[in-house]
Amino acid sequence: MDFGLAFSYQFKDEVWWKKLLLTGLIALIPIVGPFYLIGWTMEVAGRFAKAQSGDEVELPDINFGQFIVKGLLGAVVSFVYSIPVILFVVPIAIAAFLTADSGPGGSEWIMIVTSVCCGGLALLVSIFTGFLSFVALIELQLKDFKAAFNFKRNFSILKNAIVPYLLVLAVYIIVTPILSMLGSIACGFGVLFTVPYSASILGSFLGQAYKKGSLALPNEAGVLEI
């Protein structure tokens, strides 16, 4: 994992500022903007996943239609992977509904026990399915919609690169708040750069982690031959 590269490759592009600015502006468009940003980030991740040693990865050019479609498909994939988490949240909602009119000292213990048990499990499952969905999104980018749901392969890739994925999560949790704070500069106009820049960092991290996990698969050359 080249963490320094994830923060610096963007500026090797002569028109990096233009690509980030336009991506940031498109991301602000209601409804379609977030889907575009997802698709754009998937493109970055795919480029890093396919890049060979020494290759320079460039920021994607603007492609409104293509990235929106990719983002929509990516959102569907992410939703499917989040279904197990939803199944753990449902009991909490049911318990809250059943105990809403019980009054003080009623069945509050039911709500407490349900929230602790199901809430804790939901958190653990969400972390696992979240990582797995990141793998699936790159499979979608590199291959097709069906490949995103090859759970056995996706789990193998995640298992082979679990440490890089955990490092990605830790670094990104630290970096995102800092970039958000910087984005508030100049009456908030800084977000036009910090939002796509943050997405470009995430894409680089995910692509590198995926590549490490893919190359470790037995009897495969990894994504370089995809």
Confidence of residue 133 (pLDDT cuts 50, 70, 90): very high
- Alpha carbon distance 221, 216 (integer Å): 8
Q: Is pLDDT above 50 for 175?
A: yes
State the first-to-last Cα distance of the chain, in angstroms, to the nearest integer: 21
- Alpha carbon distance 204, 63 (integer Å): 19
Query: Average pLDDT for residues 97-107, to the nearest whole number?
Result: 61
Q: How many other C-beta atoms are found inside a 10 Å radius of the C-beta of residue 28? A: 12
Give the predicted TM-score (pTM) of the model. Answer: 0.86
Query: Average pLDDT for residues 145-160, to the nearest whole number?
Result: 95
- Cβ-Cβ contacts under 8 Å for 17 (sequence gap 6 or more): 193
* 222, 211 Cβ separation under 8 angstroms: yes
Gyration radius of the chain over CA positions: 20
Confidence of residue 87 (pLDDT cuts 50, 70, 90): confident
Query: Average pLDDT for residues 106-118, to the nearest whole number?
Result: 71
- Alpha carbon distance 51, 66 (integer Å): 21
Query: Which tokens hold the place of 4?
Result: 């320094």
- Alpha carbon distance 2, 140 (integer Å): 23
Burial call 90-125: b when 16+ CB within 10 Å, e when fewer:
ebbeebeeebeeeeeeeeeeebeebeeebeebbeeb
C-alpha 58: how far from its chain's center? 20
Location of structure tokens 């480029």 = 47
Helices 32-50 & 16-27 angle (0-180, nearest 10):
140
Confidence of residue 224 (pLDDT cuts 50, 70, 90): very low
Q: Is pLDDT above 60 for 105?
A: no
pLDDT in tens, 16-74: 999 999 999 999 999 999 999 999 999 999 999 999 877 899 999 999 999 999 999 99
Query: What residue type is 226 in one-letter code?
Result: I
